[in-house]
Structure 1
Amino acid sequence: MKRRTVQDVMTERVVTVNEDAPFAEIAETMAEHRISGVPVLDAAGRVTGMVTEADLLRKQEYKDGGARRPVLDRIRRRGEAEAKAAAVDARGLMSAPVVSVAPNTSIAQAARLLNGHGFKALPVVDDDGRLAGIVARRDLLRVFQRSDAEIRDEIIDDVLITKLWQDPADVDVRVEEGVVHLTGRVEQKSLIPIIVRLTAATEGVVDVVHALGYDHDDTRPAPYPRA
């Protein structure tokens, strides 16, 4: 089965602001649409940055000039944070360059980017840098909404038959709430970790539990023939 990409789960209708959008307008837009961030576009529709709730909160955070912050903390955060606190429009508030993904980015790669940077969402851009959509954490979780029957069918058809040329009668596949249970016997012991790995990589699989047996242990070197 074709692996889903960001394009399959992203939101295409995206709330955006331009670089000259004032602070109050951005805050009102985010509150109205109940979103935590907005892409910032230039006149050509290219993504130049992102403004998030955290960026807007700098204004409140630094109202007292940071006077009561520890000295080392003030020094460390003074640059970018205080610049955003003083900003009055999207150009000054936004984080740039923006971290983005292409429409054909895999779900796994997008998830790694979100987790690695601590973001809640990423803009999706085409080859020209123009906005194509936005992908959020909740979008990536859709892969875990597949039915147990759909997951089981893919494991049998794609993993056992297509990739490994295994007789599905030899391996029983049972899926409960995304957890795959594998039982049965295969010819070679070395096949077992491969089956488990490919099963775990199937979209929607939460965990793999196996009790697979084997007929021949091909993981041990053959004994030398006696002279």
Structure 2
Amino acid sequence: MLVRDWMTPDPITVTPDTPVMDALRILKEGNFRRLPVVDAGGGLVGITTRKDLKDAMPSKATTLSVWELNYLLSKLTVAEMMARPVITAAEGEYMEDAALRMQEHHVGGLPVLNDAGVLSGIITTMDVLRAFTGILGMREGGKRLTLDMPDVPGSLERATGAVLPSNIISVATFGGENGRRRFVMRVNGEGVKDVRRRVQDAGIDVLE
């Protein structure tokens, strides 16, 4: 599962000299939250968000006249508000690595660069959620099982054997307590109606 499979390709961009008001208009019309900033040659030089741009707007309590306010806004550009250096993702890296970087840096999106270092897409929290639900087979129906098993080699093999002849759509695991591990499976197909009983009959704990 690579970033290129889930990113939004060819994102809309702005340049450093784009007026803040124009950037806000682009964000509003496109209904998105961030804009990569590129130079005249198309190289990525920054990123700006709706919040960054709105924070740059004068307070409603300002004593400036309308003329003064419009003059100041016309002079305010993205270059003054963009974040740099930019935290990025690579097209060919694993989605989970990009998601971890987003978490570590507390950002909601990463511009994506291709092998030549050129901006080719953007990955956002929504894309991470799409990937997560896709991996877990949420749109494929079936039955969800949460199994509590010893965290030892062979546990997954034992679980999959108990599920047969049903078809396993997805498997995810996470550590439990006291040397245990949780296996979250989504299954469908033959025998799915009785799959819970078969797993329990195999001596495996099935959680509610």
Tell me which interval the TM-score lies in, with the shorter structure as reference length. 0.5 to 0.7
Structure 1 53/177 Cα, relative in aligned 2: closer, same or farther at 3 Å? farther
**Deviations for 1:194-217, whole angstroms, at most 9, x for unmatched residues?**
xx67x56x99xxxxx986649xxx
How many angstroms apart in 2 are the aligned matches of 1:104 and 1:55? 29
Structure number with greater Rg is 1
Residue 96 of structure 1 deviates from its aligned partner by 0.2
2:162 counterpart of 1:171: yes
2:77 is matched with which residue? 89
Residue 64 of structure 1 deviates from its aligned partner by 6.8
2:128 is matched with which residue? 140
TM-score, length basis structure 1? 0.56
SS in 2 for 1:55: helix
**Which region of structure 1 is more displaced relative to structure 2, 131-140 or 170-179?**
170-179
2:56 counterpart of 1:55: no
More strand by share: 2
Structure 1 61/111 Cα, relative in aligned 2: closer, same or farther at 3 Å? farther
2:115 is matched with which residue? 127
**Deviations for 1:40-89, whole angstroms, at most 9, x for unmatched residues?**
01122111110101211222366779xxxxxxxxxxxxxxxxxxx9x811
Preserved contact between residue 148 and residue 175 of structure 1 (Cα < 8 Å): no
Residue 127 of structure 1 deviates from its aligned partner by 3.5
Residue 16 of structure 1 deviates from its aligned partner by 0.6
2:87 counterpart of 1:99: yes
1:111 is matched with which residue? 99
Unaligned runs of 5+ in 2: 63-72, 146-153, 173-178, 187-195
How many angstroms apart in 2 are the aligned matches of 1:33 and 1:169? 45
Which of 33, 38, 41 is the equivalent residue of 1:44?
Answer: 41
Structure 1 43/132 Cα, relative in aligned 2: closer, same or farther at 3 Å? same
How many angstroms apart in 2 are the aligned matches of 1:19 and 1:132? 18
How many angstroms apart in 1 are the aligned matches of 2:105 and 2:97? 12
SS in 2 for 1:39: strand
1:35 is matched with which residue? 32
Structure 1 36/165 Cα, relative in aligned 2: closer, same or farther at 3 Å? closer
How many angstroms apart in 1 are the aligned matches of 2:100 and 2:44? 21
**Deviations for 1:92-131, whole angstroms, at most 9, x for unmatched residues?**
1100001100011212112212222222211101233311
SS in 2 for 1:170: helix
Residue 171 of structure 1 deviates from its aligned partner by 2.6
Preserved contact between residue 91 and residue 115 of structure 2 (Cα < 8 Å): no
Residue 138 of structure 1 deviates from its aligned partner by 1.3
How many angstroms apart in 2 are the aligned matches of 1:142 and 1:99? 21
Which of 6, 21, 33 is the equivalent residue of 1:9?
Answer: 6
How many angstroms apart in 1 are the aligned matches of 2:170 and 2:103? 22
TM-score, length basis structure 2? 0.61
| Counterpart AA for 1:48 | V
CA RMSD of aligned residues (A): 4.1
